[in-house]
Amino acid sequence: NAGVTQTPKFQVLKTGQSMTLQCAQDMNHEYMSWYRQDPGMGLRLIHYSVGAGITDQGEVPNGYNVSRSTTEDFPLRLLSAAPSQTSVYFCASRPNQNTGELFFGEGSRLTVL
């Protein structure tokens, strides 16, 4: 069981570039979510999904897109990167939207120049 796997671990982008952060889990969890964490701050919810084909916005969704075509994968897309999106991004999953604790990936550190 690998748990929650995020790739890449580090990425540097130029302003205006696009990229996708990948998140995969092998625990058959229905619920998946993306958070961002700025230096010295707590985690803020970007988007979440309660099952394949269903996504919804969190606290800070602007500038990010998500899709959930399979139970295992929940990619986060930055359409046109901005310096304000420099952050550490965490993907998390739990069995379903109602029960269980969150399992987190190790994070993806993104720098936008």
Partner 1 sequence: DAKTTQPPSMDCAEGRAANLPCNHSTISGNEYVYWYRQIHSQGPQYIIHGLKNNETNEMASLIITEDRKSSTLILPHATLRDTAVYYCIVRSFNTNAGKSTFGDGTTLTVKP
Q: Which two tokens stand for residue 46?
A: 């970007």
Residue 30: partners with Cβ closer than 8 Å, 6 or more residues away? 50, 51, 71, 95, 96, 97
- The smaller minimum CB distance to partner 1, of residues 48 and 64, is found at 48
Which of 19, 27, 52, 102 binds partner 1 (CB under 8 A)? It is: 102
* Tokens, residue 28: 């058959």
Q: Are 34 and 46 in contact (CB under 8 A)?
A: yes
Among 90, 93, 110, 112, binds partner 1 (CB under 8 A): 90
Instruction: Tell which positions 28-67 bind partner 1, by CB under 8 A.
Output: 31, 33, 35, 41-45, 48, 50, 56, 58-59
Single out the residue of 29, 62, 33, 63 nearest to residue 45, CA to CA.
33
Q: Is 105 in the site for partner 1 (CB under 8 A)?
A: yes
- Residue closer to partner 1, measured from CB, 13 or 47: 47
Q: Give the binding site for partner 1 (CB under 8 A).
A: 4, 31, 33, 35, 41-45, 48, 50, 56, 58-59, 88, 90, 92, 97-99, 101-107
